[in-house]
Amino acid sequence: MSEKITIVEIAKLANVSIATVSRIINNTGKVNSEKKKKVLELIEEYNYKPNMIAKALQSSKSSTVGFIVPHINSPFYAQIFYETELIAREEGYTLILCNSESDKRHESSILNTLISTNVRAIVFMGGRLDDMESAKKYIQELETISKEIPIIAGVDVPGLECIQIFQEQRSSTKKLLEHLASLGYKDVALLGGYFNVRTTEKRREEILENADDFGINIRREIIDSDYSVEGGNIAMQKMLKSNKLPQAIICINDLVAIGVLSEANKNNLKVPEDIAITGYDNLDISRFVYPGITTIASNYKAYARAIVDTIKNIDDMDSNTKIAIPTDLIIRGTTKR
Amino acid sequence: MSEKITIVEIAKLANVSIATVSRIINNTGKVNSEKKKKVLELIEEYNYKPNMIAKALQSSKSSTVGFIVPHINSPFYAQIFYETELIAREEGYTLILCNSESDKRHESSILNTLISTNVRAIVFMGGRLDDMESAKKYIQELETISKEIPIIAGVDVPGLECIQIFQEQRSSTKKLLEHLASLGYKDVALLGGYFNVRTTEKRREEILENADDFGINIRREIIDSDYSVEGGNIAMQKMLKSNKLPQAIICINDLVAIGVLSEANKNNLKVPEDIAITGYDNLDISRFVYPGITTIASNYKAYARAIVDTIKNIDDMDSNTKIAIPTDLIIRGTTKR
DNA sequence: TTGAAAGCGCTACCAT
DNA sequence: ATGGTAGCGCTTTCAA
């Protein structure tokens, strides 16, 4: 290990004070341009890099942000994180990524770690936040933490006082229903997702509230599942046992839709002729399976942008701020050839 | 923001010295059990958490590790990171995840940031490391950095002096060839991946070197592609234009295999009857598409374990250590009903 | 315009 | 067994 060079050495070599070097590095205060030039050269020559740890300690303000997702191997979260990291880094932030497993023990261990690490903010996606049965106690816990460290929630949780960034899907839902109706799909089933998951219930509500307007009948029985391809497989197997297949299935997300699609393939059902399928999220892969998945698309870049902008201005923001990111309907082969 | 409590306050409240509190927290040195009890109570009561930033500054040894992948929205990397993060956190490490985009500018900005953040080590997956055309200059750069911060490379790069953890695929490759041969697939094509990518070339070599032993003819023309489902779509379209389809296609990874599969579906080819398909990686999704993808499976948990163990012992490890993680052949519907 | 020096919260060495 | 304190690398008053 070669010795790391510090601001002290640079100052010494340049025959100036540490304070001056600091001013030059951070562009704060006037400095003689001769000295400035000299110092900058030295910094270049010795490849000096300010120690962010020391900086963070002294200013008690780090540029590190905690990012908590249920599991990063879920493509939806991977995509959000991907976009967020790129923008965040551009803005000088560094992201610590943690998998909560939607589990209380994991979560509190993560929270402790992040607090200890003095992160600038914590972005909190899904998991227990999304669980409607999470006790009030949980919300209080979060609010307590958010007194110390700003929390950005990726879910719309009524009653939680912290900044919330989530997706607006109502208008896309209407477009989807209109689209289905226009193709004559009037007998529609909902499939996938757990009960008591906020975002899931919200999607179901939005569909239920608007279906009538388009003359669509939503089947009362909802087959639930987890949010994976396998979940889609299994749920579809159940559905296939029912007396009469619906004309179309609105799946809780694209992974489930893919599971339903492959199960349909396996059973020699033609999509969309025998049955139409839709999803949510617009994952990368959804364009490339055959047929492509019709979906309510997340705007990942906009979402990421909103997160990073929020982090930048976090100290000046009202802790009740809610930001809704618009979505789009994308039509592909699972509904229309 | 409530004021953060520090070791000083705890010491004061307990009527002991800071040093004593420190000893209690870190279990270093003997302490009167009365005092210990008192301090522990105070810590509990005030919810005190040691400031890792200060700790890191003073010991110049943080428990934060940099993790660089080309893009985390690629399921392979997402899976590796996922497993690694879980184990790492258990061992007290915190992971900063960065997307290099396989791009030089991104990479050096990341490296600078990570160095500034005083990370304990840097785990480096894919990207330019995997590029055989990366100049020697690049390797030197990395070696320079690894003098300051230990680097763990996720690729076998001959000539690079740093710890390397990668997959051993030769034996699985033989099993795959044996499997294909046993089903009578003797006319086999290779599809997907770029030239000059180390891991890709290695896979191809391993296949080429062993095919004869099983009486398999590997077609000379390799259709290359990127590593995505879309890449598989496009490559398969090209292949469909050739005079005669092979009996089986070995794809460079599962995503490409899925792309090939969906393109086959689109063209009413039956898999595996009309054409067999295999991949690498064993992604989650590969089990659940229909038919399931026969694949050379990564052992993600073992890989993650190796990474974390390496981080733990990094100071005592020979910088030339190479660790090969075994793989397995998993047979599914794309080769055999 | 510049520099000296006081911390930021913690660990570890040296005394006692 | 315990406490005092130097110092990790940096920013930021306060004086000059």
Contacts of B56 in chain A (CB under 8 A): 53
Contacting residues 34-93/A vs strand C (CB within 7 A): 35, 54, 57-58, 60
- Mean predicted confidence (pLDDT) in A108-136: 92
A323, containing H or E segment: strand A322-326
Q: Count of alpha carbons within 13 Å of B242, Cβ hemisphere only?
A: 13
What are the φ and ψ backbone dihedral angles of A286, each rounded to 5 degrees?
Answer: -65, -20
Contacts of A270 in chain B (CB under 8 A): none
Q: For position B135, what pLDDT does the model report?
A: 77
Nearest-Cα distance to chain B for A165, in Å, is 21
d(CA A100, C1' D6) / Å: 40
Q: What is the DSSP letter of A282?
A: -
Cα–Cα distance list, B29 to A117, A199, B24, B84 (Å): 25, 51, 8, 33
- Residue A139 · residue A160 · CB < 8 Å: yes
Q: What's the pTM?
A: 0.95
Ranges of residues in chain B with a pLDDT under 70 are 1-2
Token match 């993808």: residue? B293
How many other C-beta atoms are found inside a 10 Å radius of the C-beta of residue B177? 24
A173, containing H or E segment: helix A170-182
How far is residue A56's CA from residue B117's CA, in Å, rounded to a whole number?
Answer: 10
pLDDT exceeds cutoff 60 at A38: yes
Q: Which nucleotides of strand D lie within 7 A of protein CB?
A: 1-5, 7-13
How far is residue B296's CA from residue B251's CA, in Å, rounded to a whole number?
Answer: 10
Interface test with B, best of A80, A94, A293, A315 (most B CBs within 10 A): A94
> With an 8 Å Cβ cutoff, is A98 touching chain B?
yes
Most confident of A131-135, A215-219, A286-290: A215-219
Residues 12-31 of A with CB under 8 A from B: none
Token match 């940031």: residue? B113
CATH 3.40.50.2300 fits B57-166+302-325, yes or no: yes
Q: For position B2, what pLDDT does the model report?
A: 60
Quick one: fold of B170-298?
A: Rossmann fold (3.40.50)
Q: For position B228, what pLDDT does the model report?
A: 96
3-state class (DSSP) for residue A190: strand
A258 CB-near residues (< 8 Å, 6+ apart):
A229, A232, A279, A285, A286, A289, A293, B285, B288, B289
Q: For residue A20, which amino acid is it? A: T
Residues 109-138 of A with CB under 8 A from B: 109-110, 112-113, 115-118
3-state class (DSSP) for residue B243: coil
Q: For position B204, what pLDDT does the model report?
A: 97
User: pLDDT-derived band of residue A133, with 50, 70 and 90 as boundaries?
Assistant: confident
In which residue ranges of chain A is CATH 3.40.50.2300 found? 57-166+302-325, 170-298
How much of chain A is in helix, strand and coil states, percent to nearest 5? 50, 15, 35
Is B289 in contact with A284 (Cβ distance < 8 A)?
no
Q: For position A57, what pLDDT does the model report?
A: 94
Q: pLDDT above 70 covers what percent of chain A?
A: 99
CATH 1.10.260.40 fits A1-50, yes or no: yes
> With an 8 Å Cβ cutoff, is A234 touching chain B?
no
pLDDT exceeds cutoff 90 at A148: no
In which residue ranges of chain B is CATH 1.10.260.40 found? 1-50
- Mean predicted confidence (pLDDT) in A129-144: 87
Is B230 in contact with A287 (Cβ distance < 8 A)?
yes
B116 in contact with nucleic chain C (CB within 7 A): no
d(CA A29, C1' C1) / Å: 9
How far is residue B137's CA from residue A129's CA, in Å, rounded to a whole number?
Answer: 48
d(CA B91, C1' D4) / Å: 33
User: pLDDT-derived band of residue A2, with 50, 70 and 90 as boundaries?
Assistant: low
